[in-house]
Structures are given as C-alpha cells and as structure tokens.
Chain A
Amino acid sequence: MNERHIVETVFNNTLHKGGIEMKCRRLLPLVSIIVTMLVVLGPTLGPSQAAQPANPAFTFPAENIAIEVWWHEYGPFTAYVKELIEAYKKVRPNITINPTIASSTDMNQKLTVALAAGTGPDIMDADASYYVAYYTKGVLEPLNLDVFGVKSYEELAARYVSGGLASGTFDGKVYTLPYQGNSMSLFINNKLFTAAGLDPRKDAPKTWKDLMALCPKLKQVEGKRTVRKAFEFPYHSPRWQLQDLQPMTEQFGGKILSDDGKTAYLNSPETVKALTLWRDVTKECGDPKNTKNTASNPNQDFLDGFTVMWITGPWATPQVQASPIKNDFTVVGLPQVDPANPRTMVYGWAWGVNKNRPDKNKIVAWDFVKFMLAKPEEWLAKAGFVQPAKGVSETQVAKAFPFFDAHMKDVQTATWYIRSENVNEIAQAVGRAVDSVVYDGADPKAALDGAQAAVDRILKK
C-alpha cells in the first residue's frame, strides 16, 4: 500500500462515507497515527484538507455518474490531474471522470462556445480573470458548502491567505477555487550575475532603482547587436504586459481598474509614472526588439541566458531547472518603488462548476474539486503551482521548493490580476500603449490617453 493509497483511504473513510462512520471510528486511532506519520515523514504530504471533519448532512450520490472535466494543457499539470482522476476512481468507484485538455490560449473560447451550445463541462478550468465574465453570464455554480464541510464562505476563506479566494468571490459567494495563485517574482541567473562581479544574494535588487543601477554591468552590446540583456519586460503578450504594469501602478499608489470593474485609470498620474519607469528601465536594461519569447515559450530569453533577470512565476521553476541554468538561479521579490510598502500581483487559474448541469453532477463536481485541491503541497511538488492556501509554507515540499518563501512573500502582498468582463480588451489597450512607448518612442501620457479612450468606449457600453 503506497502513501497515496493510504491517504485516499483516509480521505474516503473520514470524509465521504457518512453511512459507515462506525467502521471509520474504530479505525480512527490507527488512521490518525498513519496521517500524523505521513505528514511528518512523507516528503510530499503536508497539512491536507482531507483531514477536515466530515459534514454529517452531506450525502454523496450513490448511483453511477459521469462528469466532464476540462483543463488547459501544461505537461506536469496534466500528468498530475490524470493521477488525481485515477486516485478519485478508487475513492468513488461509481464516478467516471471524462477529461478534455485544450491549450491555454484556446481554453477560454472553447469553454465559452461549449457553454453557449449547452455542451460545457461539469468542471471548468479558466484563468481566474475570466471568471467574472462567466459569473455575469450566469453559468457558474456557487461552491457547495456541504461538500466542503464548512458553514460559510468565510470559514472556507479562512483556510487561505488573505484575499486568496478574492478572484472567485462574487457578491459574497465563492464560485471558483484557485489551484494556482502565482506571484510574479524576479528570477536571476547566478552564473551571469556572478560573472559581472555581483553576488546574487547581496546585490539582488530590491527596488527598480537598484535594478537599473545593475544594468550597465550586466547588459552586453557588440556593435549594434545586443548579446545579453540585463533585464527585460514581456512583449510577447498584452496579458503579460498588464501583469507587470498593474503592480507597478499600484506601487505608485494607483490602480488599473476600480473594484467594481466599471472605471479604468489607465491615464492616471500613477499609471503614467509606472509606464515611464517601464520605458526607462527598458532603455537602460533591455532590448525589446530582440527577443525569442513567445506566448508558448514566454521565458525563452531567460532560459537561453540571453536575459539575466526576468519576472516570472514559480511555475517556471521546473523549466529553469531543465535549462542550462539548472539550479544556479536565485528568486527575489518583485522590485518595488518603495520596499517599505510592497505591492505585487497574483494571477492564476481556478476550477469552477457549471451551473447548467444536473444537481447530482454538481455535487460530484465540487467533491472532485475538493479532492483535487486537498493537498496543496502536491500541486507545488508536481506542477510547480502555488495554491494561496495557509500552511503550505510549513510543508516539507515547500521547504524543498527553490525560493518558496520569496514567492509566498510576493503572494502575501499581492492583489489579483484585474477582474473584468473586458479583461482582454483592457490588456490589449495596455499592450498597445506599452508597445507604442517602447517601440515607437511615444510619450507615456499620450499613449495611455489613447488606451484610456479605448477602454472608456468599451466600459461605457
């Protein structure tokens, strides 16, 4: 009996078989000892939600039910979800789970078209920033409190770091649960940093000024060709550009969008300052006309050693380790305007349940979501995803994960990526402004005035 099987048995017996609780009670001391041993000794097991007490009111469907689960393609993630499906089959033999996998770029449109055609899955996987559109279109089912054994959404939210469920909470109800809430932190190539006479531990930048001061030492230009960039912002995707501009704007005390998503502040003085800083950093440190980063390989320049410092998420760690950089890298917090008042950004993907499915399917769907998310430490170990759940930092996996504390620190000072039905159009407008400043030398204020006008047109409708 392997560790996973033991835990599945524990999960099965302690949580979901209300009718045979007597048997469970007899086994409870033994089970408790096993769980305690696994938590302490097991390298991949930690404070799992499987140890939560069962809700006696909750009855799981006894008949055979098949549910559809869709998720976006990412090798380690797909492998882990498939593993979870196999494990769930043993816990719930009457449930069949049919998976569908789509590329991350196609998922939103496939999902929307399927939901429109009434053929959407029971469990959907989407970028957290898209769920507001699904919510307003009425296709999301609120989280089933009975399945999760909690009395209120607040009780559930208490299991997460502050604001951890904010991306999927609408009008006081939780509709989606994140399986990754990624910080955007600064990755440093140690070898190239050291070659410039710098120490990655002592000299790692804390502020944007620090970062700019390092660039002359790290950037290499031969004739008119840049052969090494000290640092670069993303230019392969408007969504990534917004990922960086949003926390920079907040560091200056502004914001991109109002909380209700109805007002944009793209040409506010704070956003203008942020884009001006972006431009200045780029001039000093980067060469945006020269990059191999693409939507499918967003970290390529860093992996190739072409960029020394790069902002990305913890999920990039396995890619970095598989690249020539191997483990010779450092991760530090996102550079700040004022380190005493840090502002960062968290983005991620979350599971949601389709409202327009039979009630029993929805119970099964939430039950499977709960099962999947029960071990945040496994998500970290197997997919490199950080769930914004409490207690993850204390697990052995987190302690073994490179620079987990740096990632988690950034998560704790973060606001979620903006939520809006028009998030893609806002990102496009921001991307257009950034491009025109960086590539065409436009004035940041004028570029952002254009972006503001475009977004105002959209939001006015």
Chain B
Amino acid sequence: MSALASIQPRLGWNRIRLSVTAKQALFGYAILLPTLAIIVIFRFLPMLQAFYISLNEYDLIRPPKFIGLENFIDLLRDPLFLNSARVSVAYVVLSCVPVWILSLGLAVLFNRQIVAKNLFRSASFMPVVMPAVVNAVVWTFMYHQDGVVNTILGWFDLDPIPWLRSSKWALWAIIIIGIWRATPYYMVIFLAGLQAIPHEYYEAAQIDGASAWRQFRHITLPLLKPTTLLVMVMSVIVAMKVFAVPLIMTGGGPADSTRVLPLFIYQTAFEFFKMGRAAAMSVFLFAAVMVFTLFQIRLFSHGEE
C-alpha cells in the first residue's frame, strides 16, 4: 500500500480527474478484462494460428514448412474435398430448411393455449439436452434392419431401409437426426420471439376481421424477423459444424456419402496428420460460414431499409 502511494505522485495519477461515467466504464472494462483475455488466448490466438498453419506443410512432429497458398490451391483440385464440401452443403440445406419450418410451427403451436402445454414443451426439448454421442448410439440401434424405424415402416408394408449402410440413405439418416435434435432448440428461440409480440396487434387484427393466416403473415412473420435471422444464422453455423453424429454412426461412409467437411477436417488432421491441409480446409469452412452469415444479415437488413 505504501509502495503504491509512493509511485502514484510520480506517475501523476493524483492529477488525473475522471468523471463518474468514465470511472464506471473503467471499472466495467476491468471486470471484463479477464474474460476478454481468456477469449483472446483460447479462441482468437488458436484461430490465427490455424490461419498460419494453413500456409504450411505440417505433420505435428516435424517442423512446419512454409508452402504459401499451395494447400488452398491443391484443395480446389481435390475431388475428395470438393465432395466433402458438397455433402456439407447438402446437409445444411436439407436439414436447416425443415428445422426453420418445424421449429416455427411448433413455437406457434406451443404459444397457444393447449392442454399440457408445459409438459409437451419440456418433452420436445429432450433431444437438445441429450449428448450428441448418446443420440448417435441410440439412433444407430433405431436405424438397424430390425430397429424401431424399420419396424414402424413395416406397419405400413414398407420394406426395411438400410439407413446407415447405403450411400443413398445414409445422409438422410444423419439429416433426420439433425432435424430431430435442432428443431426444439430453435423452437424455444422462436417461442421467446413470439411472446415478445404485443397481443394488442392480434386483437386489433381480429377486430378488423383478419384471418389467422393473415395475422401470421402480416403480424407474426414481420415482427419475428430479428428472431428468424438469429435462428437462420445459428442453425446454418451449427449445421456446417456437424461432426459427432457422422463420425460415430458412419465414419463418413458408405463411399464418402456422409463425409461432411468437419469430419474430413478431423480425419485429415488427426488420422492423416496433415495439419496444414486440415487448417486450410478450416479456413475454407470459416470463410463459407462468414460469407453466408453476412449474406443472410444483408438480406434481412435490406428489407428494413
């Protein structure tokens, strides 16, 4: 304490006059600093490191060798990478669009006065809290020839489908799990958005004789725009990063039909030990997500302008 007191005059701290607001701001930043430091050290520095590694040939043990953009150029000519990117895009499109529709539909349903609403809300949220690994294992059994899914198909005289052992069906099997898992999560977000819409708008519309569809079309959807943007951006980012389920259920097969980009990145890094190449793929993935997100934000803000 005394040491601090002795330096203060030399630094001129006693001459600094700060307003109450500035002091409050400084205090706030001081509290934020440890968290920011953690984010920078454990999030941003590794990301920067990944950018650097993407410019190198690196197998973890031997020192990295700088090769410039070679990894990126090579990836664009690599049919395996291009196939993997295609599988990822298919997964994103085919899982996200149903998720948006289903989660909004469920949110609208659960926003109404229905019997045992809270019970249904809680039950529908269960897939979200279940770990992805557990999901994958349970669904693997469910997809088996004699599993639940094929048994249900059998009730309708449909032949069993080789869900995980057919390059035609395996991606659909993964997509179904993605939809099942993501829908309740985004339903909750939509539900929060719906509950923020003042009820008076609907009362006024009802007085004017607007049908339920017109209320939904002209009140709910426009006022849910920020929530919808959030859901779309988040769901696309999450879907682009799908990893555990294909890793556990199919390992990317059969015949690469479920080798999504994150799985291919993982295999390239930790099975093939090509860290530079894997980092370059990660940069591509990052760029794709960033471009798509900016595009979505632009699309939504365009309407507001």
* A residues at B contact (CB < 8 Å): 108-109, 112-113, 115-116, 133, 137-139, 224-226, 235, 237-238, 288-292, 294-295, 422, 424-425, 428, 431-432, 435-436, 439-440, 454, 457
Contacts and interface: CB of A to CB of B under 8 A. Distances in A.
A139 B271 CA distance: 18
Nearest to A112: B60
Given A288-B165, A291-B165, A435-B253, 18 more contacts: A109-B271, A112-B270, A113-B60, A137-B62, A138-B61, A138-B62, A225-B160, A226-B145, A237-B251, A292-B144, A422-B272, A424-B271, A428-B267, A435-B254, A436-B167, A440-B167, A440-B254, A440-B255
B166 interface: yes
12 contacts: A112-B270, A112-B273, A113-B60, A116-B61, A137-B59, A137-B61, A138-B61, A295-B251, A432-B255, A435-B254, A439-B166, A457-B78
User: How many residues of B sit at the interface, in one of the four size bands?
Assistant: 20 to 34
A228 to B, nearest CB: 12
Contacts of A138: 61-62
List the 9 shortest-distance A-B pairs measured between CB atoms, nearest first.
Answer: A289-B162, A435-B255, A116-B60, A435-B254, A289-B165, A109-B270, A137-B61, A436-B255, A439-B254
Given A224-B160, A295-B251, A435-B254, A290 B271 contact: no
Interface string B244-269: 00000001011110000000000100
B159 interface: yes
A439 B167 contact: yes
B272 A454 contact: no
Q: Is the interface of A mostly helix, strand, loop or mixed?
A: helix
Nearest to A139: B61
Contacts of B165: 235, 288-291, 439
Most buried by B among A108, A133, A424, A428: A428
B144 to A, nearest CB: 7
B198 interface: no
A431 B80 CA distance: 14
Interface string B269-281: 0111100000000
B79 interface: yes
Contacts of A115: 60-61
Contacts of B267: 424, 428
A235 B255 CA distance: 11
Given A133-B273, A225-B145, A432 B162 contact: no
Interface in B158-183: 159-160, 162, 165-168
A436 B255 CA distance: 5
Contacts of A235: 165, 254
A49 to B, nearest CB: 32
Contacts of A454: 79-80
Contacts of B162: 289-290
Contacts of B270: 109, 112
Nearest to A427: B271
A289 B166 contact: yes
Contacts of A428: 267
Contacts of B273: 112, 133
Nearest to B62: A137
Contacts of B272: 422, 424-425
A286 to B, nearest CB: 11
Contacts of B78: 457
Contacts of B62: 137-138
Contacts of B253: 238, 431-432, 435
Contacts of B166: 289, 439
A131 to B, nearest CB: 13
A205 to B, nearest CB: 25
Interface string B50-75: 00000000011110000000000000
B280 to A, nearest CB: 14
A455 B167 CA distance: 22
Nearest to B150: A225
Contacts of A435: 167, 253-256
Interface in B128-175: 140, 144-145, 159-160, 162, 165-168
A238 B271 CA distance: 12
A440 B255 CA distance: 9
B254 A290 contact: no
Most buried by B among A237, A295, A457: A457
A439 B144 contact: no
A137 B273 CA distance: 12
B278 to A, nearest CB: 12
Nearest to A442: B255
A436 B59 CA distance: 30
A300 to B, nearest CB: 11
B12 to A, nearest CB: 46
Contacts of B145: 225-226, 289-290
Contacts of A137: 59, 61-62
Contacts of B255: 432, 435-436, 439-440
Contacts of A295: 251
